[in-house]
Structure 1
Amino acid sequence: MKHTIGIIMNGVTGRMGTNQHLIRSIVAIREQGGVQLANGDVIMPDPILVGRNEEKLKTLADKYNIERWSTDLDACLANQEDPIYFDAQTTVRRADSIKKAIAAGKHIYCEKPTASNLEESLELAKLAREAGVKNGVVQDKLFLPGLLKLKRLIDSGFFGEILSVRMEFGYWVFEGDWQECQRPSWNYRKEDGGGMVVDMFAHWRYVLDNLFGNVKAVSCYATTHIPKRVDEQGNEYTCTADDAAYGTFELEGGIIAQVNSSWAVRVDRDDLLTIQVDGTEGSAVAGLRDCKTQHRVNTPKAVWNPDIENPHDFTAQWEKVPANQEFDNAFKIQWEKFLKHVVADEAFPWDLLEGAKGTQLSDLGLKSSKERCWIDVPELKI
């Protein structure tokens, strides 16, 4: 049996919405013949692209053989044939549209942060629960090959007692004067929903919570290293949002996580994101796709001696974790899980309340930076 399900996709003309959610997820699912359920049934997504730019919508629809597009969100929400609403707009626009979609009885799937502040994020979670609609938030990094390999190590007990986590993330984003900026200018304006803490702490919350233990406290220093940039029209503007954040997190079980995030750092590491986990029995370093380990019995004896040339090739002393499986696109994997959740009621734990936890950590991180102090992270309930 084939289950055709209409999806209102709002905001897919943006970089992430186009590449990850439209092309590499929904279009890819359609091209593979849909999502197969355990009973042999197939879910086939039928998207309608929604946005403000008619030309961009038409171009995308024509290019990827999508029959429907619209600039009228209200009319789309009124169509009972489209039970799912997806939102990849900028953060400042997301909450109002999701509220409308919930009121229209739509199941909700959206990017994070789910809203600009914790109060609004919790309101969305509460509204969805009261309306009885299914809901989910994109938490794509959990499905990256490197993190899946890391999760395999954790589940096997490889680390023994996990002691600490160290994450390094970011790269140099050009200022836009002598080379074009590779991220949208709104990312660097607080009034438009930009900022490293708002953008990335939502990611770090679900990574830390799901892999290592719930975040119990945060200490953060956020700053703006590059004070002026040049926008897409060639105009210089003042950066009002932080472009780097240096955070320390206390997790359940006494694990300490240190997370550096920066758009003003040049990369000298294996990947744009690296996660080093140190435990009593072994250590691992994971990137977006790869993961390497060093077990207790294979740990060389390093001795500090600045008077001689370093005798160790430290990077050669790690062993690569094999794939042992084929890895699909992380966004596509979670889309398939959400479609199964809607159609077949399969479990999907990454709901709007989980999304609110990311907003909570962003808010507390900014508060910690402003007040220069540690702040406890209370349990969220609705």
Structure 2
Amino acid sequence: MIKRIAACLILLFGAVQAHADKPLIPAPPELAADAYLLLDAHTGQILVQHNIDKQIPPASLTKMMTAYIVSEEIEKGAIKESDPVRISEKAWKKGGSKMFVKVGDKVPVIDLLRGVIVQSGNDASIALAEYVSGSEEVFAEVMNQQAELLGMEDTHFVNATGWPADGHLTTARDLGTLARALIADHPDHYDIYSEKYFNYAGINQPNRNRLLWRDPAVDGIKTGHTEAAGYCLVASAVKRGMRLISVVVGTDSDEQRAAESQKLLAYGFRYYQTHKVYSSSDVLQTERIWGGVAPEVGIAVAEDVFATIPRGGEDSIKADLIVDGELEAPLEKGEPVGKVVVTLDGETIADVEAVAAEDVEKAGFFKRIWDALKRFVMSFF
């Protein structure tokens, strides 16, 4: 049985005014794009959305997954950044954007990874796919398996490049999920997405993400373009401790995808913030524990709790601690005891596990008997 212990743990940040002004947030911008999304990279909360579950061809945004898998393989120790990769004729022949590697060249993995991310090289993408999985076709199977693990429910990959193909589809929502994973899971390689140029074999090519030059807060991520997909851009930026991810697909030009992405990011940074509600070290309150050497135990959260809230809206946050029945010793630190539900203006913004903040050992025989007697008597009141 779940017992509500605390009706309202109001978070106080300075004196709360009796009639605090509610932050004003205008309607989000409407973009000239087929689909778009804005989300908080830390919490995953979606701030703006339009057609985010519509399946679309991802074009070179596909290479985000190609790069993610290569980073995974490096981190697992299956391959190394310094490994020489022999360039096949298939990789060399592939049309579209290129790193300009040649058949028979042996190129380090890390250079090919830069070729994929910065130069959007189809040749580099195929070379890495063949090195990791033996063939691009098998690599596409790995891409789909990884997409499933990440929760990209409406995505299916056919190749490593984004070259137009039947059934090669994703959604703006899934691209946002992939972008969060890129940033969180492989921070060392994520730095590559902010590089403005990459020079290989004497050919210095610029990153196609225009926002890297326009906004110092932007540090990635990837562009894409085909006739079917239109001009696309997944971008990310950090301001005042908040990281946002924007996904804009199906615009009419390179300039438009950049401008529309800027609108989303500006809106998010102006009107929202990532707020730390609790630290894992915070003791939220103490609760009675029966049969223990101590009469009470502190309650905490298993990990730091963050929420995306309107800028200046801290005073509207409330939290309920719900404990799963009466607590009994022994209890170990970190053991689940219930949950904390955080709300903003009545809407749930976080629902996290509550845990014991310390160990409580079982008491001796006579203390347990006395506690049992007290518990029995209190049950009548």
Q: TM-score range by the shorter chain?
A: under 0.3
Give 1 or 2 for the bigger CA radius of gyration. 2
TM-score, normalised by the number of residues in structure 2:
0.24
| Larger helix percent | 1
